[in-house]
Amino acid sequence: MSVKETAYSTLANDSAVAALVATRIYPVNLPQDCTLPAVKYQLIGGIRDFFIDGPSRSGRARIRFDCWGATSDAAWGLYEAVRDAVDGLTAAYPVMAPVEFYDAEGQAYRVSVDYSIYHQEV
């Protein structure tokens, strides 16, 4: 399973996340006029492990989770559910504190956090 598939399945199979967003878990971009709350996840970086004899088939990926809500409280509530789901992965840890944004055009709130997730390449 790729690291992006792991990110998606971790959220989709978590009952607290599913209770808030149903199937509104999207890679890279939210659809136009998306119903909120919703989660966007995106691979934003990472590094492969290397050994003396060359590259390995493992590494760390940096995944950003954007938790969108119609209110600040809704975005933070979704963030807490996403955090708890991703914290359940054996080899994942946050690499930044959550940050809140307001999108005036879309009149929506977003809480973003980046995680480093150890993975095996497929």
Q: For domain 3-120, is the CATH number 3.60.40.10?
A: no
Q: Does the reported pTM lie above 0.75?
A: yes
Domain edges within the chain: 3-120
Quote the pLDDT of residue 122: 62
Contact 17, 85 (CB under 8 A): yes
Low-confidence ranges of the chain (pLDDT < 50): none
Q: Which of 21, 27, 1 is nearest to 119 (CA)?
A: 1
Quote the pLDDT of residue 50: 64
Residue identified by tokens 């995106």 is: 42
Quote the pLDDT of residue 60: 85
Question: How far apart, in Å, are the Cα atoms of 3 and each of 7, 104, 119?
Answer: 6, 32, 6
